[in-house]
């Protein structure tokens, strides 16, 4: 069974940091791209980052570029999102998702095959 399980969310003050983890199982992790998405109340779900386990590409939304870093540990089937300099507008439920085509170009909402259930990040001002 394919599973993606996020963890690491919580409450943090503005300017602080959190590290989210996504534990993957049930598929060939090294062939996929893993994206982080977030959804805040009343807003569209947006991709905040992607890491390709095929070509190593990492990409970020403009809103988080320079503050967030995604990484993977293939030996552990884990993907991480290090979030620094957090802002209240980063408050959202964060999801990890897997794209079978394996490249970040394809790792958009409609093409993600598997999703975690999300972890809530709340940034206080």
Per-residue pLDDT of the chain (125 residues; tens, 9 = 90+): 899 999 999 999 999 999 999 999 998 888 899 999 999 999 999 999 999 989 999 999 999 999 999 999 989 999 999 999 999 999 999 999 999 889 999 889 999 999 999 999 999 99
pLDDT value, residue 116: 97
Q: How far apart are CA 98 and CA 78, in angstroms?
A: 12
pLDDT value, residue 58: 97
pLDDT value, residue 113: 93
Q: How far apart are CA 27 and CA 97, in angstroms?
A: 12
* Contact yes or no for 42/96 (Cβ under 8 A): no
């Amino acid at each position: 069974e394919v599973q993606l399980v996020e963890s690491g969310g919580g409450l943090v003050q503005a300017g602080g940091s959190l590290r989210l983890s996504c534990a993957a199982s049930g598929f060939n992790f090294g062939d996929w791209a893993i994206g982080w998405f977030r959804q805040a109340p009343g807003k569209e779900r947006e991709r905040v980052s992607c890491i390709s386990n095929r070509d190593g590409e990492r990409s970020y939304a403009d809103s988080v570029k320079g503050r967030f870093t995604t990484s993977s540990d293939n030996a552990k089937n884990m993907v991480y999102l290090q979030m620094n300099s957090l802002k209240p507008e980063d408050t959202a439920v964060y999801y990890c998702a897997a794209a079978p085509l394996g490249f970040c170009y394809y790792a958009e909402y409609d093409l993600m095959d598997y999703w975690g259930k999300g972890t809530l990040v709340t940034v206080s001002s």
